[in-house]
Amino acid sequence: MVSYLSNHNSVLQTKQSFELIQSYLTATIKIHRTFIWKATDEPHEELSQVLEDIQMVQRNDWNEMEGLFLENMAAIKWIKNALI
């Protein structure tokens, strides 16, 4: 499980196939949620670390995308106001 999630984390860091990895992660979490929730104890520290790494990568990517959305919205608003 750890190597599987680590591979997904590596692909997320390349910023390629984002939707595919998101769907794999969603399916994995749905299928193995009881194991993952129980694995947050100390004996499964490595799994917890990988999950935290995935969360950090996703949060950073989302913050970057959110900034781009805001820039695009500002540009669209400026163009809209300039044309009126």
Q: DSSP letters of 24-67?
A: HHHHHHHHHHHHHHHTTSGGGHHHHHHHHHHHHHHHHHHHHHHH
Confidence at 78, pLDDT banded by 50, 70, 90:
very high
Mean pLDDT, to the nearest integer, of 15-37? 88
Question: What is the tally of structural domains in the chain?
Answer: 1
Phi and psi of 17, rounded to 5°? 55, 40
Mean pLDDT, to the nearest integer, of 51-72? 94
Q: What is the pLDDT of residues 34-47, one digit of tens each?
A: 888 776 666 778 88
| Residue 60 predicted with pLDDT over 90 | yes
Mean pLDDT, to the nearest integer, of 5-18? 90
Which range marks the domain in which residue 69 is found?
2-83
CA triple 18-21-27, angle to 5 deg: 140
CA triple 29-52-3, angle to 5 deg: 65
